[in-house]
């Protein structure tokens, strides 16, 4: 579980043929400021043991974005080794914990062992920004530091402060009493982890994640 005093570690599992688009994704995640993405060409140094460093990076990751393409799903070698190791780590996570994030880069068949998790399509070009924001939502859920004010700023920078206030007021009217309590706690203490918020509210971690997902979905519908 990530702590509140460091960035979220995200490992990018991919085939070398997909490096250009994965490099672009890496730069976008890095620019967020609260994410520490791991890409081999950026993190590995000459003379380091490739296998050992990748295993250490996957083990230390808070989430793994598995970039799927016609290249990666059929290729033998490092990408399959990375995926196998990531799946092994996923088995050690608590039930319902978000760790594996499958991301299709083209019209490829999702491997059977990844069909447990909902995947996103990073194509066609017109959908990329929307899908990227969905990935950020998933990573916020993983970090346990979701903040709807920041979410609003990231997704609707053109919205005025008064309009944002009106949207939040409407959102409050649509929330259940328990969701309002969680939203208030999030605004007052945005750096609390999911576990800490669950303790405050006297509920399970999975309940907090579920409520966050519902709040974010209601917030998104207001912007559509």
Domains of the chain: 8-143 (3.40.50.10140), 148-223 (1.10.10)
Asked if pLDDT for residue 166 goes beyond 70, the answer is no
| The pLDDT of residue 98 | 87
pTM of the predicted model as reported, rounded to 2 decimal places:
0.63
Q: How confident is the model at residue 170 (pLDDT cuts 50, 70, 90)?
A: low
2 alpha carbon, distance to own chain's centre: 12
pLDDT tens-digit series, residues 19-65: 999 999 999 999 999 999 999 999 988 898 888 888 889 889 999 99
Mean pLDDT of 122-132: 92
If pLDDT is split at 50, 70 and 90, which confidence band does 82 have?
Answer: confident
**151 and 50 Cβ atoms separated by less than 8 Å:** no
Residue 129's CB is within 10 A of a number of other CB atoms, namely 11
| CB neighbour burial string for 148-172, b if at least 16 within 10 angstroms, e if fewer | beebbeebeeeeeeeeeeebbeebe
How far is 15 from 73, CA to CA, in rounded Å?
9
Q: Cα separation of 28 and 9, whole Å? A: 14
More confident residue, 119 or 75: 119
- pLDDT at position 190, please? 65
Query: Are 8 and 63 within 8 A, CB to CB?
Result: yes
For residue 213, count CB atoms less than 10 angstroms from its CB and return exposed for 0-12, middle for 13-18, buried for 19 or more.
middle
pLDDT at 95: 66
Tell me: the pLDDT tens digits for 106-126? 999 998 889 889 999 999 999
Q: Which two tokens stand for residue 108?
A: 């490829």
Q: Which of 158, 161, 147 is nearest to 219 (CA)?
A: 147
End-to-end CA distance of the chain: 32
Q: Report the 10 Å Cβ neighbour count for 52.
A: 9
Q: Read off the pLDDT band of 2 (50, 70, 90).
A: very low
Query: Among all chains, which residue has been given the structure tokens 């918020």?
Result: 197
What pLDDT shows up at residue 224?
A: 56
CB 40 within 8 A of CB 93: no
Least confident residue range of 6-10, 80-84, 102-106: 80-84
Higher-confidence position of 27 and 166: 27
């Amino acid at each position: 579980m990530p702590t509140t005093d460091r960035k979220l570690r995200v490992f990018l599992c991919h085939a070398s043929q997909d490096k250009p688009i994965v490099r672009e994704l890496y730069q976008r995640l890095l620019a967020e400021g609260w994410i520490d993405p791991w890409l081999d060409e950026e993190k590995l140094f000459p003379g380091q043991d490739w296998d050992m460093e990748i295993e250490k990076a996957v083990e230390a990751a808070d989430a793994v974005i598995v970039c799927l393409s016609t290249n990666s799903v059929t290729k033998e070698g490092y990408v399959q080794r990375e995926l196998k190791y990531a799946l092994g780590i996923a088995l050690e996570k608590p039930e319902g914990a978000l760790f594996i994030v499958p991301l299709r880069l083209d019209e490829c068949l999702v491997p059977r062992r990844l069909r447990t998790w909902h995947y996103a399509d990073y194509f066609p070009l017109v959908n990329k920004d929307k899908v990227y924001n969905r990935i950020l939502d998933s990573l916020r859920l993983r970090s346990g530091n979701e903040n709807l004010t920041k979410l609003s700023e990231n997704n609707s920078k053109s919205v005025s402060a008064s309009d944002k206030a009106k949207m939040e007021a409407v959102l409050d009217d649509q929330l259940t009493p328990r969701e309002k309590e969680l939203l208030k706690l999030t605004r007052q203490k945005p750096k609390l982890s999911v576990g800490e918020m669950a303790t405050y509210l006297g509920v399970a971690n999975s309940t907090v994640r579920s409520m966050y997902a519902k709040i974010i979905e209601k917030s998104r519908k207001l912007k559509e």
